[in-house]
Amino acid sequence: MPGRGDRGKKKEKPKDAKGTLRRILRYLGGYRFAILALVLCAFASNVGNLLGPRFAGKAIGAAVGKGKVDFDAVLHYALLMLAVYVGSSLLSFFVNICMMRISRRAAQKMRRDIFNKLMALPVSFFDRNQAGDIISRVSYDVDVVSTSLSTDIIQILTSFITVTGSFIMMLSISLPLSCCMLVTTPLAIAFTRHMGKITRPRYSRRSASYGRMNGYVEEMFAGQKTILAYAHEDGVCEDFSKINRAAAEAYRDADSLGVTMGPSIGFFNNLGLALIGLVGALFYQNGIVGMEQISSFVLYSRKFSGPINEFANILNEIYSALAAAERVFALLDQEEEPADAEDAAVLEDVAGDVELDHVSFGYLPGKTVLHDLNLKAAPGRTVAIVGHTGAGKTTIINLLMRFYDPDSGRILVDGLENRRITMDSLRRAYAMVLQDTWLFSGTIFENIAYGKEDATMEEVVAAAKAAHIHNYVMRLPEGYDTVITEGGTNISKGQKQLLTIARAMLYNTHMLILDEATSNVDTNTEQQVQRAMRGLMAGRTSFVIAHRLSTIQNADNILVLDHGDVVEQGTHEELMTKKGAYYRLYAAQFE
């Protein structure tokens, strides 16, 4: 698997940061009044912090003024400092706790929106994207956004209030000294903006690289047995090392540049402080300012420069959150399955008359899989579809279920084009048993009753008996209450297949789709299941994909596909008499 580490790697361009930020803030819209109250609390907390240096200056002035220490005044101002700092800390603690709760609720809503979106996306989206990358957006990227909401918004607000208030206080103390800050502050702001343009795309690449790494890990875990069977552990580890190295390099590129912002801004701030110390000393010697003013001014200058230094670090976190949010919103902006037409009909009393009229389809532009396909399935009839791998058999099933729409032609159900039928009623008209079995973590009863919410135990047992899985279930310690692990790893493939067959039998529909429905059962069980399936298919329109041709000899019509074209069709006897493509497939299996 060469080149996995380079998959999807391209130069990222800066995205719409303002638009992304607005969309993030919409998730806080329901808490606007609570946030407003927190803003007022944060304002009060910062006002208290801003009063501290003023009281400190007055205490110093009382200690050194007029050659005599005024202990009462020093104690008075010291107690005032203690009061405002304690009050500010308590308010700040309250604001941070409340903002964290709000951000978690916003993240919960964001995850709910993502999951609802995933349920509305077409199958083509999941065919194009790795499961691990999707999971990364739901977990890692949302966590990054949530962390930024809980800390960065309040910190930015706090920094703004502190910088503005400190600058006003410095102006009130000494206008000439304040000019020293105007020398270095513009340099710090210009540097921050310049570095932001460079670091933002690097954070986007970092998020994308983590998504690719998670996708690869999920893919390898799913194929662990195959990896071990082929003794390909070293190759997988080598491929992961490449992907991991690429992710680490993306992380390094983003953070190595980001961490330089704090020290650089600190340099500008310290340069301003040095100017204040130099100019302040000259002013003090000439009697322009007193010790009280210089002490307060120095403290305010530290409060003024501190948030600017912190803002550089906060900015890195914001860029990381914006990059993560862009990936989340890119998923939320994906085109959903086509909405039902306004005049869409609801399938009721389904007869099961299905027709494909001159249908052509390709998954990719210019690569047609099915060519001008015509197919007629009368109500209650069984249509078998056979052919070599890649002939287009599963594609027909995808079109019948409207997982995809044909590029040209029509698909009719009971005389109605499937685009004119509501998606929900169309899919509920089919029951499916696929070769790739899917079981979820839950009891056997819940897995069989998945398609019928009000199923009773008697109905589930009857379906299990028909699928020849009842005896196996009863041998389990807890019977139908036995919990199946995720993916059904604690039962055999054949047993998983039988459970999905029981699920289809319980889901009483007018049309069936069987895609290699007995591929994972032994020959003896297959014969039993086939008898049960024939009973299930009686009176229902059935589409059967099979490689074992012995299982479809009783089909009313057999279609032989070859590279998207129907090369033959007819009953088993008719096709055997022709001695064409079907005959050769049959002979290849039984000779």
Whichever domain contains 449, its CATH number is 3.40.50.300
User: Is position 88 within any domain?
Assistant: no
- 322 and 359 within one domain: no
Query: What is the structure's pLDDT at 275?
Result: 74
Does 545 map to a domain? yes
Q: What integer pLDDT is reported at residue 141 of this predicted model? A: 86
The predicted structure's pLDDT at residue 171: 80
How far is the CA of 3 from the CAs of 214, 241, 246, in angstroms?
16, 12, 12
Q: Is residue 544 part of a domain?
A: yes
CATH code of the domain containing 175: 1.20.1560.10
The pLDDT assigned to 190 comes to 75
pLDDT given at position 424: 87
530 and 437 in a common domain: yes
Residues 317 and 382 in one domain: no
**pLDDT value of position 591:** 60
Q: Please write the tens of the pLDDT for every residue from 561-587.
A: 888 888 888 888 988 888 888 888 888
| Residues of the chain with confidence (pLDDT) below 50 | 1-14
Could you write out the DSSP letters of every residue in 438-485? ---SEEHHHHHGGG-TT--HHHHHHHHHHTT-HHHHHHSTTGGGPEEP
List, in order, residues 6 or more apart from 503 with CB less than 8 Å away. 433, 447, 448, 449, 450, 451, 463
121 and 262 co-located in one domain? yes
What average pLDDT does the chain have? 79
What is the torsional sign of CA 241, 245, 246, 247?
Answer: positive
Confirm whether 45 is domain-assigned.
no
In this prediction, residue 3 carries a pLDDT of: 38
Range of the domain at 569: 354-590
Do 247 and 372 share a domain, yes or no? no
Q: pLDDT tens digit string along 437-466?
A: 778 778 889 888 887 878 889 989 988 888
- Rounded Cα distance between 406 and 358, Å, is 10
Name the pTM for this structure: 0.68
Residues 473 and 577 in one domain: yes
Vertex 250: Cα angle to 245 and 254 (nearest 5): 145
Predicted pLDDT of residue 412: 92
Q: Is residue 227 part of a domain?
A: yes
Same domain as 269, residue 361: no
- Do 415 and 527 share a structural domain? yes
325 and 359 together in one domain: no
Domain presence at residue 183: yes
Q: Is residue 47 part of a domain?
A: no
Q: Same structural domain for residues 381 and 472?
A: yes
Domain total in the chain: 2
pLDDT at position 96 is 84
Residue 94 lies in a domain: no
Are 372 and 365 in contact by the 8 Å Cβ rule? The answer is no
541-545, strands of its sheet edge to edge: 430-433, 511-515, 541-545, 382-387, 557-562, 565-570
pLDDT at residue 196, rounded to an integer: 67
Question: Are 575 and 475 found together in one domain?
Answer: yes
pLDDT score recorded for residue 411 = 92
* Same domain for 457 and 399: yes
